[in-house]
Structure 1
């Protein structure tokens, strides 16, 4: 990983930590497990998602509403599905 990529990764890590436990539980594992496999355009979209207010992120990630932007909606659904899949995997391992 280049120095620039390392700096970007650290920034993403800190921007993904929102201070709301519920958001951290969804965003942090997604960043760690899936971000590197996203297309470059989806990586940009993830960074754009993080620019939103916590209340909006909470509403979207708790599936109370979906973002109006279809691309953001798709990414939010990817994050939610990742959390559900990861949670189910943990339960099966027990």
Structure 2
């Protein structure tokens, strides 16, 4: 006869969305490269404000685009660092 009160131990499901270390490193490197246009936008936008008192309309769109790309770089670095989950510990006992 079988014992119906005994249940087999649950095995945790493998996380199918876990990234490899290479993908995390590539995301971080791409994020760092995306910070460069944001830095240039801050530099040139700040120089324009200091020289003329306001950003001229001909470079305002480029400054805005650089800032958006820089913010995307920050988000990508954040996703690479925070999104990487450690694999669950194996319990071999």
Give the TM-score range, shorter chain. 0.3 to 0.5
Higher helix share: 1
Normalised TM-score (structure 2): 0.34
Larger radius of gyration: 2
Normalised TM-score (structure 1): 0.34
Q: Which has the higher contact order (CA 8 A, sep 6+)?
A: 2
